[in-house]
Amino acid sequence: MKKQSRSARIGLTLTSFSLICSGLCCIVDEYILAQLSSNILGNPAQQWPIVIGLMLFATGVGAWMAQFVKEERTLQAFISIELLLSFLGGYSPLIIMWAYAYTFAHFKLVFYSISFIIGLLIGFEQPLIATINKKFVGFRSNISMTISLDVLGAAIGTFIWIKFLIGKVEIYHAAFMVTLLNLSVALLTYYFLVRYGPEELKTSRRTFIGIGLAAVLGVCGLFFSADLADVAEQELYTGKIIHKESTPYQRVVMTEHPKTGDVMMYLNGGLQFCSKDENRYHENLVHPNLKLRSLTNTASAPLDILVLGGGDGMAVREIRKYKNIKSITLVELDPAITELATQHPKLLELNDSSLIGSNIHILKPELPESEKEIPIYSELKHRDADGNKLYYIMDTVSVLHEDAYTFVEQIAQQGKKYDAIFIDFPDPRNESLGKLYSKYFFTRIRLLLKSGGFVSIQASSPVHANHAYICVGKTMTAAGLDVLPYHDNIPSFNEWGWYLAARQEDQFNLHLLAERLYTLEQFDVPTSYLTPKKFFSNTIFGKDILLNAEDIEISTLSNPRVYYYYVHYGWKVL
């Protein structure tokens, strides 16, 4: 009786532990595959529900299939399921990455098949555990215990994912950590239930050999997964990967082409810039805005500048060429981007160390040594009228790591205003980004503009994302802004578009102001590509680009049409 009581206690403890681990591994496996899908295919608003929904469906199928397992084979089946989960769950990110790199045409079939099979195996677990558990507790207690402990495990898994895994552990390592937990459950189940469990739950020693082999594969995967992932990930890029990391917000990869030396940055697989033509993009974003402001404002008071996005520092690089800058506030959600911009040699070279510095001064070499000793300064890319090199230092770039939507709302409530605003967000490829192109958001942007101020925003391609591009302009107009659309060819991105906007109450004729630029030869500061004449030509579109603008709806928080247009009418976003 004593042995039986001890056996019951051990069995109950073990099945409780197994149920918690089952829920934990289930939810983390779902998060891993959903995150991996988002990193590769982008559009997390679609990929997360697709992956999790598919796996939940497969879990239901697995739970239904578990009824056909004979009761005397329950323990053997449970341990086998754990071993299969440990192998497939651990190696699934590597298999998926290799499939994407080497069998692109069949990638989705591989990815969703693996997701379904893992969900199927997870579905098998709970009924098998419940079958084992009913040897120790009554029917009603068994059902309540199965559901409650599984949910508890899912809650613990969610906490671990948010607090310790996402953005802190490579997704490949996270998968093998779950693998080791599955293996632990299999090993403990084998040892304790074979030793203390009822006779009908006994299993063969061959199972122990299987556990040992799975453990070897799991440990090897944990140690060598990074190398295997590097090989597969490198196949996705033409340039050599010089930096990569997973942050809580995105997958960041930087590459350098071995022949041309071009540096590229990718976020979740999408190209953000290429060093050979980023100047075309950033000069179009910055200089028309500040030039039009100088044409419409005769006062020479120093300017307060707001930059939303643009954590790579290249928009700030162009802004800092101007002498009349009082302050620059940069709002970037992901600290990893600004960290790269202030530490990585390639980015420091591209952005001229624009995010490093103190109070703005222009220094000449012949100035007294005491002035040259100001701690941080950088050489400008141009000279003064006498041919002397110019240096600047700036202390007024305030970098804030927070959500731009929240920041704009808070600052608007405080009544803070800026002379110029530059918006450099990613394309509205998901609903979370879509809110940054909503009427509500643009209304708050208008409140942040001083009288006579301008806002510039990148708005995707007027050719390849035509509906979304028009939607951005119409939404800004509905928010009380007059807009001037313009476009240019960025070789790395094809045809690209922006909007320059001013408050409607300022009653600027933006097209007439753009025409005034046509008479000018250069901007007030050096540029490597853009001229005032070129900008004026950029405001001219072919008649087919804005042809059906009246049919395009504006984008709101409750109805993010810009996201819908981008996904369904623009580039194919998977």
Residue range of the domain that includes 257: 240-274
Q: What is the pLDDT along the chain (574 residues), one digit of tens a residue?
A: 444 566 677 777 888 888 899 899 999 999 999 988 887 877 777 788 899 999 999 999 999 999 999 887 888 888 889 889 999 999 999 999 899 888 876 888 999 999 999 999 999 988 988 888 777 766 556 778 888 898 999 999 999 999 989 878 889 889 988 888 888 888 888 777 666 655 555 556 677 777 788 888 888 887 888 888 888 899 989 899 999 998 888 889 999 999 999 999 999 888 999 999 999 999 999 999 999 999 998 767 899 999 999 999 999 999 999 988 999 999 999 999 999 999 999 999 999 999 885 333 333 444 444 443 333 334 444 444 555 544 444 456 889 999 999 999 999 999 999 999 999 999 998 888 999 999 999 999 999 999 999 999 999 999 999 999 999 999 999 999 999 999 999 999 999 999 999 999 999 999 999 999 999 999 999 999 999 999 999 999 998 887 778 889 999 999 999 999 998 888 754 3
Residue 138 pLDDT: 63
Look at residue 555 and tell me if it is in a domain: yes
Tell me how far apart the alpha carbons of residues 564 and 478 are, in angstroms, rounded to a whole number.
18
The domain boundary residue, chosen from 174, 206, 234: 234
Q: Are residues 229 and 245 in the same domain?
A: no
Look at residue 363 and tell me if it is in a domain: no
Q: What number of helices (H) and strands (E) belong to the chain?
A: 20, 14
Tell me how far apart the alpha carbons of residues 121 and 488 are, in angstroms, rounded to a whole number.
52
How does 113-134 read in b/e, with b if 16+ C-beta sit within 10 Å? ebbbbbbbbbbbbbbbbbbbbb
The domain boundary residue, chosen from 179, 214, 234: 234
Q: Are residues 149 and 266 in the same domain?
A: no
Tell me how far apart the alpha carbons of residues 502 and 201 are, in angstroms, rounded to a whole number.
76
Is the CB of residue 421 less than 8 Å from the CB of residue 306? yes
Give the count of domains, the chain.
Answer: 3
Q: Name residue, tokens 């692109």.
A: 104
CA dihedral 27, 28, 29, 35 (to 10 degrees): 110
Q: What CATH number has the domain bearing residue 74?
A: 1.20.1250.20
User: What distance lies between CA 219 and its chain's CA centroid?
Assistant: 30
Residue 33 pLDDT: 93
Is the CB of residue 20 less than 8 Å from the CB of residue 149? yes
Q: Are residues 211 and 250 in the same domain?
A: no
Q: Are residues 151 and 256 in the same domain?
A: no
Is the CB of residue 109 less than 8 Å from the CB of residue 72? no
Q: Are residues 302 and 421 in the same domain?
A: yes
Q: Are residues 226 and 245 in the same domain?
A: no
Is the CB of residue 157 less than 8 Å from the CB of residue 202? no
Q: Are residues 86 and 160 in the same domain?
A: yes
Q: Are residues 436 and 536 in the same domain?
A: yes
Q: Are residues 291 and 409 in the same domain?
A: yes
Q: What CATH number has the domain bearing residue 452?
A: 3.40.50.150
CB neighbours of 220 closer than 8 A, spacing ≥ 6?
Answer: none
DSSP string, 475-519: HHHHTTEEEEEEEEEETTTEEEEEEEEEEGGG---HHHHHHHHTT
Q: Are residues 423 and 547 in the same domain?
A: yes
Active site residue 424: yes
Please pick, among 29, 424, 427, 488, the residue that the annotation labels catalytic. 424
Tell me how far apart the alpha carbons of residues 315 and 238 are, in angstroms, rounded to a whole number.
26
Q: Are residues 109 and 97 in the same domain?
A: yes
How does 157-168 read in b/e, with b if 16+ C-beta sit within 10 Å? beebbeeebbee
User: Which of 65, 94, 76, 59 has the alpha carbon at shortest distance from 132?
Assistant: 76
Tell me how far apart the alpha carbons of residues 367 and 372 are, in angstroms, rounded to a whole number.
7
